Chains A and B, each alone.
Chain A
């Protein structure tokens, strides 16, 4: 990933947007951006859905792609690295959306209002999932985020570290602690205090 470098007047280099309404030829990067957009659109939307109010999901997705387009030169060359890079853009967009709300830097992650039923549903399974949902909701946002990046967004620890802009080892520690706290919430008699 190339670095963010302000240019001479303090703005970041970005593809020039085409003039509105003019039948201008397509920007040289437009085809490549279209490919990225179509490949990642659904994943990015789902990423935002997990973290944003439903009414603002479309706006955050649009803002994220706009930022991605303007910083297209910084997009990773490796296709596999594009998704976490865009997730990181979306996360920063979300962070700014929340900046006036006196909350910690960790974004709150929502859980499904009605968890999806598993194929082999049973009473114990339902109870476990309800317990799991309650336990998850009791976790700190930082722990929720670590778990969500792996369990929901399907990222590897390496990719999740990119999203959070921390080292892989730091993320591994964070994930390990989050999982331990989740288990502690599920088993209060053997609970381990949060650290």
Chain B
């Protein structure tokens, strides 16, 4: 075997290449130039344009109570969509499943792939499965990101800074610091994610979404359950659900000694 891997088997494989023979001047052909012109003048009517518009509209629809939310630099990246809308969200469950090691590996690979900015030093802190959708949260100092994977493919992702003025760098043992709430989607794929850090004594978090502007029709019951069980791992909590546009989100926090803290706000008011 030589170093560049170009051995006989690879050479023989070239005979199986399904692509057309090279045409070095193809980029200057009439068809290619027409495509180039449409890309540059913005007239290419691709789904990505439409989806970006949807994204902006959805961000405008998103509402989080509390001034602290405005301090969170939350962003979202919508990957170029393709094909027909897939209602993987219909398989969503209010209680998450733990993921296998293989799925965890997929989260690490696919989510860092889609969030190249957070690649270095980023670790997966949460990975959970709700139906066909895997939700991953990745973290590095001062930064948190999430992504949703459908059937192993990164589907939607977002990121934000965890640095909030006036907030302690590390949560107290019984404290929950919500650091990122993000919503987006469109075309039946609206979704909301919530992510935060938890103190050492926090063993469970439940999320209550209040005043949802529009019930997620994609769910079998047509309504979002009153309680969504978040995943608590590695000093973080996280959850996601179909739909956007809640008036308020509050938490129930379970501590290691059995204490239950109710109506915990997601952000300082």
Q: Show the binding face of A for B, using Cβ within 8 Å.
A: 1, 3-12, 17-21, 26-27, 30, 33-34, 37-43, 45-47, 49-50, 60-63, 65-67, 69-70, 92-105, 110-113, 115-116, 118, 128-129, 132-133, 136, 147-148, 150-152, 156-157, 165-166, 172, 175-176, 179, 182-183
Contacts and interface: CB of A to CB of B under 8 A. Distances in A.
Interface of B: 1, 4-7, 9-20, 22-28, 32, 35-36, 38-44, 46-49, 52, 55-56, 59, 73-77, 79-86, 88, 106, 109-110, 112-117, 150-155, 158-159, 184
Contact of A67 (B11, B75, B80): B80
B42 A20 contact: yes
Nearest to A182: B9
A40 to B, nearest CB: 7
Given A18-B42, A132-B12, A100 B83 contact: yes
A93 B80 CA distance: 6
A95 B153 contact: yes
Contacts, number: 219
A19 B15 contact: no
Given A67-B80, A179-B9, A105 B32 contact: no
A125 B140 CA distance: 54
Contacts of B47: 63
B32 A38 contact: yes
A69 to B, nearest CB: 5
Contact of B77 (A4, A8, A116, A128): A4
A19 B13 contact: no
Nearest to A109: B18
Given A92-B79, A150-B6, A18 B56 contact: no
Nearest to A41: B27
Contact of B10 (A37, A45, A150): A150
